């Protein structure tokens, strides 16, 4: 099993590598087109700011490569947001894999921003969440921006300020707003499902 992690100047990559190591997977970190296309699975994780991350993707030509990949592909946190068509963070165009907007939480709604800590997934409808008890589907979040809901692509919701897309799916593309690598047993199962079942 060849798993590639997209290298694009984003933070928090090592914790994803360690989480995969615990599943017996030794991924490669790369921005090379041939290595990405030949991988069995591709993971697009990260922590960072959308406009600077998107700038690096464009400089490396990854903005053209990633949307054309055909193997199972998983975006995490900012990875999910950059897979959408537009983000309010830096007012930038994303990869357009999901035709959705990424918006900032309204700080006047009585909740602290960023949304940081454990929260529950609801309305789960994806292979990513198989063998996870929905009553105990708590995962870890750190974000100030969120992906809007979609009847077609949302496969899990989270409630913070309001409901938003906790996970998305379109064809071979999957994504989650939370950090599975920091989400204990639930997050480990999400990663296992992606590796073994997609």
Catalytic residue (one of 77, 84, 89, 143): 77
Q: What is the mean pLDDT of residues 41-54?
A: 91
Helix spans in the chain (H): 13-22, 33-38, 50-59, 62-65, 78-82, 184-197
* Closest of 178, 136, 135 to residue 155, by C-alpha: 178
- d(CA 60, CA 30) in angstroms, rounded, equals 11
Question: What is the share, in percent, of the chain residues with pLDDT greater than 90?
Answer: 89
- d(CA 42, CA 69) in angstroms, rounded, equals 9
Give residue 156's pLDDT: 98
Catalytic residue (one of 109, 181, 188, 196): 181
pLDDT band of residue 129 (cuts 50, 70, 90) is: very high
Active site residue 35: no
As given in the structure block, the two tokens for residue 160 are 């913070």
Q: State in Å, rounded, how far the first CA of the chain is from the last one.
A: 13
Between strands 73-76 and 92-93, the pairing is unpaired
Residues 3-197, CATH architecture: 3-Layer(aba) Sandwich (3.40)
Reduced to 3 states (helix: H, G, I; strand: E, B; else coil), residue 190 is: helix
Reduced to 3 states (helix: H, G, I; strand: E, B; else coil), residue 180 is: helix
Active site residue 77: yes
As given in the structure block, the two tokens for residue 109 are 């709604």
Between strands 3-6 and 28-30, the pairing is parallel
pLDDT at 166 > cutoff 90: yes
For residue 19, whether the previous peptide bond is cis, meaning omega lies within 30 degrees of 0, is no
> pTM of this prediction?
0.96
Active site residue 147: no
pLDDT at 108 > cutoff 80: no
Which residues have a Cβ under 8 Å from the Cβ of 48 and sit 6 or more positions away? Answer: 9, 10, 11, 78
pLDDT at 195 > cutoff 80: yes
Give residue 111's pLDDT: 86
Catalytic residue (one of 115, 143, 169, 179): 179
Query: Per-domain residue ranges for the chain?
Result: 3-197
- d(CA 33, CA 62) in angstroms, rounded, equals 8
* Closest of 187, 84, 79, 177 to residue 129, by C-alpha: 187
């Amino acid at each position: 099993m060849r798993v590639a992690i997209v290298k694009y100047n984003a933070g928090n990559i090592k914790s994803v590598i360690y989480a995969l190591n615990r599943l017996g997977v030794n991924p490669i970190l790369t921005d090379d087109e041939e290595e990405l296309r030949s991988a069995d699975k591709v993971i697009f994780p990260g922590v960072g700011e959308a406009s600077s991350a998107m700038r690096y993707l464009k400089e490396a030509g990854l903005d053209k490569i990633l949307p054309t990949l055909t193997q199972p592909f998983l975006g995490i946190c900012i990875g999910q947001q950059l897979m959408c068509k537009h983000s309010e963070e830096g007012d930038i165009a994303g990869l357009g894999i999901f035709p959705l907007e990424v918006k900032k939480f309204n700080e006047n709604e009585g909740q602290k921003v960023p949304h940081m800590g454990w929260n529950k997934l609801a309305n789960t409808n994806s292979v990513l969440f198989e063998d996870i008890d929905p009553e105990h589907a708590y995962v870890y979040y750190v974000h100030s921006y969120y992906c809007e809901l979609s009847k077609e692509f949302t496969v899990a919701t989270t409630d913070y300020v309001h409901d938003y897309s906790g996970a998305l799916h379109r064809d071979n593309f999957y994504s989650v707003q939370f950090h599975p690598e920091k989400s204990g047993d639930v997050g480990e199962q999400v990663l296992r499902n992606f590796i073994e079942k997609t």
